[in-house]
Amino acid sequence: MQSFLLLLPDFALIALGALLRRHGRFGEGFWPGVERLVYFVLFPALLFNALARASIELSVMAPLFAVGLATLASGFVLALLARPLMGLGPMAFASRVQCAYRFNTYIGIAVAGKVAGASGVAAMGALCGAMVPFANTAAVGLLAHHGEGRLWRELSRNPLILATVAGLVFNLAGGVLPAPALPFLQRLADAAVTLGLLAVGAALRGGRHEGGWPGLIYLCGLKLLALPAIAWGLAGFMGLGGVSFTVAVLFAALPTASSAYILAMRMGGDGPGVAWLISATTVAAALTLTGWLAVLTNWGP
């Protein structure tokens, strides 16, 4: 019950975003504007602020990154096994595979902050920022071989990656933020979490689910149940503990990112099918994330 109450405000914001999108009468251009504001301004400010001020130990972050990368790779490989269950063409199947390993950074930051405070935000922000290039490369690589050149240009301009690198470099170089910058960045960071979760809810949409239920259930179960269990084992094997262990498991338990839909549509894939999986994993994560948090609280290291 405590785990549920801890996450309830965040998922209530997601539900509110969904309601406002459908009944708020803000106009079709409002929510894309909110998403751009969060993606290009507010969320990079949150990541930089958290990483620039955090106590970072490379001996701790390196194993955490290794666990995150191994978890992503496991999701990619295990998702490929679902093809016989789905009965889809190559592009439709490639579109849905990404839903098994891509992650919603907004929810991850919000949950990590609730569970572990500033250190949780810094660890989750660094992990998500480090994993973005690998997740995008895997998704684009499977969808189209000719997209590699464009991919690297997009990654080099990705605001989340740039903010993560800038925050880490600033921190490791011994930089100190001037006093006036602290409240400024903190206000931007606070707005990022609230508006980011509202935008997640607004992005939820229904879609067709062709290909049969077994494949869809397999991908959802893989993302929300199997990958966190794999991350738990990997984190234990790598000797992670405390905040790092918790962040590794919660990272693996995050629902699919809404950017998976955008990528599928841009590359001629199965956008509606991906939209259904994003919505299904986000709604189901209200229960599964609560469950994993309870397990971490009672049986974690």
pLDDT digits (tens, 9 = 90+) for 11-53: 999 999 999 998 988 987 898 899 889 888 998 898 888 888 8
State the residue for tokens 């690198």.
165
pLDDT at 53: 80
Asked if 251 and 128 count as a contact pair (C-beta separation under 8 A), the reply is yes
- Tokens 């690297």, residue? 152
pLDDT score at 151: 59
Place of tokens 């084992």: 233
Give the span between the Cα atoms of 137 and 151, in whole angstroms.
7
Q: CATH number, domain at 231? A: 1.20.1530.20
Q: Return the pLDDT at 203.
A: 81
d(C-alpha 244, C-alpha 12), whole Å: 26
Structure-derived torsion over alpha carbons of residues 197, 23, 283, 109, reported in degrees to the nearest 10? 0
CA 124 → CA 50, 88, 104, 203, 301, distances in Å? 10, 34, 11, 22, 18
Q: Round the average pLDDT of the chain to a whole number and report it.
A: 86
Residue 148 clears pLDDT 50, i.e. is over it: no
Phi-psi region of 274 (alpha: psi -120 to 50; beta: other; left: phi over 0): alpha
Integer Rg of the chain from CA:
18
Residue 152 in this model has a pLDDT that exceeds 70? no
Segment 182-233, tens digit of pLDDT: 899 989 988 988 998 898 888 887 655 666 788 889 999 999 999 999 999 9
Cα gap 164→105, rounded to integer Å = 13
Residue 87: name the closest of 214, 277, 223, 220 by CA.
Answer: 214
Read off the pLDDT of residues 167-185 as tens digits, 9 standing for 90 and up: 888 988 888 889 888 899 9
CA distances from 216 to 82, 138, 198, 210, 212 (A): 9, 20, 26, 9, 7
Q: Tell me the pLDDT band of 55, cut-offs 50, 70 and 90.
A: confident
pLDDT band at 285 (very low <50, low <70, confident <90, very high): very high
Given a cut of 90, whether residue 293 has pLDDT beyond it is yes
Q: Which two tokens stand for residue 95?
A: 């579109």
Q: Which domain holds residue 131?
A: 2-299
Percent of the chain with pLDDT over 70: 93
Least confident of 28-42, 145-159, 223-237, 247-261: 145-159
What is the structure's pLDDT at 233?
97
Please tell me the total count of domains within the chain: 1
pLDDT band at 129 (very low <50, low <70, confident <90, very high): confident
Indicate if the pLDDT at residue 279 is higher than 80: yes
Residue 54 C-beta-side C-alpha neighbours within 13 Å: 28
